[in-house]
Structures are given as C-alpha cells and as structure tokens.
C-alpha cells in the first residue's frame, strides 16, 4: 500500500512511464473538472474557485510534462479542453461584496515549475525542479530522467532506480529505502534520511541530519556530512571511485576522521540491484 496526493498521482504515472494509465487518469480528472464547472450557476465562492484553479494548474502542468507520451489526437483534445476551462474561469462572475483577491492564473501553455531553492553559492547550477514525488510507501519505481532536477520526499520502504543521467537530485525524509542513481552529473542533497542505501556516481554529495545509512559512491569531490550519525561509505568502482573515503564532517572540520562515519567492511559490502 502507498500513500500519494492527487497532485502527485499523475506525476507518479509519468515517473513510471505508464502512458496508458496516465492518459486514463488525466482524462478522468479533466472530465470531472469540466462537469463541476458546467454545473455551476451564478457566482462561485472563492474557496471553490481556488480549488478548481489549482486542479487546472495541476492538469496543465501534467500535460506539459507528459503530452508527448500520449497520441497527438488526445494531446490536442486535452489542450483544447484546458484552454476552454481557462476561458470560463477568466469570464466567470465574481461573488458580490468580495474583498479577497486570488492570484491571476497563467494560461496552460505558460505554466512553469518553480526553481529549486538554492542552499549556497555552490548550488547555482541546479536546474528547475521538474519531478517532485512524495508520500510513497512500499513502492518499486523505475524512471527515465528527462534532464530536469528530481526531488524525492517522504519515502518509506521504497526502491527507486533512475536508469539514465540525472543533472541533480534531492532526497528528504526517507526511511528504509534503496536509491540507485548510476549517473548524477551535478550534486545530490540528502536530508533527514534513516536506514537507507544510496548508490551514486556523482560530482558532489551533501548529507544533512541523516543516520544509519550506507553509500556506495564514485565521486569527483569529497563527500560532506553535517549533523549525521552512523554513516558508512564504500567505493562503487573500486580504485576509480575518487575521494569516496575523504568524508568531511562539518561537526569535525579539522580532520577527515569522525565518529559519525566509517568505511563499510569488505565482507559486508553488497551493492544493491533493482
């Protein structure tokens, strides 16, 4: 069993590459929104209008991301329906004596994702977030990245494989998970994870407030940890794994030695597979 918001259901289907299920889910939600709007008579209260606008935003963003995975006929059909809904929202009568203001909605073709918040100057090259998945439990997911940053939040007992190159990726609040990301051309940020295993070939790795977690890495720069405990590291590519064992602990900045991390004994090393 897994838990996922309606907003992320479409993202999850795209993430898994299930085009048929995505089309079915998208059409079902689009028709539900159209029916709801068509049945409305007179002014609509602000709360209902805002919920409908949010759903239209979600559908517009999903079609922007996944439109190429469905037949062109349906892609055009869905876009026309979204445009018609947008016009209805723009022309809808306003409730009388309303002093609240809702933000103006962008047309479907202009809906964009928000940039990832930068932690420091070294993160300026992180691209915009295109995939954000959260609240998943007991799932096994395989994904092809489309060149955008991926954000993973609130995973438990999951296994995730990214099959191709990723520019950057972040993980937050994961527990008992396995993450296999063979090629990360930029950085990975890991925060508040517990009892997980990560497999990376990566340029930069930063880990915060994480515990009891193993890393099999090939890396171009020293891994950095902060406020972490019981971290273990091992090389992913033998002697060609870079400074995988030069872990910098910001809680012990004067040396590479720290009680918060150790090397995985060779007898215990087992790189997970999907």
pLDDT in tens, the chain (274 residues): 333 445 567 777 777 777 788 888 888 888 998 888 888 776 777 788 888 888 888 888 888 877 777 877 788 888 888 888 887 776 655 544 333 333 333 333 333 333 334 444 344 444 455 577 888 889 898 888 878 888 899 999 999 999 999 999 999 999 999 999 999 999 999 999 999 999 999 999 999 999 999 999 999 999 999 999 999 999 999 889 999 999 999 988 877 679 999 999 999 999 998 8
Domain-ending residue, one of 49, 64, 89: 89
Q: Measure the CA–CA gap between 62 and 68, rounded to whole angstroms.
A: 11
Q: Could you tell me the residue range of the domain that residue 25 belongs to?
A: 6-89
Mark whether 85 and 159 lie in a shared domain. no
Secondary structure (H, E, C), 179-212 = EEEEEEEEEEEEECCECCEEEEEEEEEEEECCEE
Q: Measure the CA–CA gap between 237 and 218, rounded to whole angstroms.
A: 6
* Number of domains observed in the structure of the chain: 2
Domain-ending residue, one of 39, 56, 89: 89
Does the model's pTM come out above 0.95? no
Q: Measure the CA–CA gap between 59 and 48, rounded to whole angstroms.
A: 17
Q: Which residues make Cβ contacts (< 8 Å) with residue 49, sequence separation at least 6?
A: 89, 92, 102
The CATH number of residue 203's host domain is 2.160.20.70
Domain-ending residue, one of 54, 70, 89: 89
């Amino acid at each position: 069993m897994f838990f996922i918001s309606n907003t992320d259901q479409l993202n999850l289907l795209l993430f898994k590459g299930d085009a048929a299920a995505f089309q079915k889910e998208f059409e079902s939600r689009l028709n539900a929104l159209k029916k709801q709007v068509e049945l409305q008579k007179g002014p609509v209260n602000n709360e209902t209008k805002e919920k409908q606008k949010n759903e239209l935003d979600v559908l517009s963003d999903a079609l922007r991301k996944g439109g190429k995975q469905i037949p062109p006929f349906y892609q055009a059909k869905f876009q026309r329906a979204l445009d018609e809904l947008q016009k209805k929202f723009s022309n809808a009568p306003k409730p009388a004596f309303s002093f609240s203001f809702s933000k103006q909605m962008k047309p479907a073709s202009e809906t964009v994702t928000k940039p990832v918040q930068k932690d420091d100057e070294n993160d300026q090259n992180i691209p915009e977030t295109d995939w954000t998945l959260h609240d998943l439990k007991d799932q096994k997911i395989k994904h092809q990245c489309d060149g955008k940053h991926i954000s993973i939040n609130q995973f438990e007992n999951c296994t995730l494989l990214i099959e191709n190159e990723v520019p950057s990726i972040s993980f937050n609040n994961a527990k008992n998970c396995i993450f296999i990301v063979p090629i990360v051309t930029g950085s990975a940020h890991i925060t508040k994870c517990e009892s997980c295993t990560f497999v990376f070939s990566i340029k930069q790795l930063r880990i915060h407030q994480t515990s009891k977690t193993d890393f099999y890495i090939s890396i171009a720069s020293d891994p950095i940890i902060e406020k972490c405990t019981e971290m273990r590291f091992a090389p992913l590519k033998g002697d060609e794994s870079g400074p995988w064992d030069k872990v910098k602990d910001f809680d012990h900045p004067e040396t590479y030695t720290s009680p918060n991390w150790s090397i995985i004994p060779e007898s215990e090393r087992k790189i997970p597979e999907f």
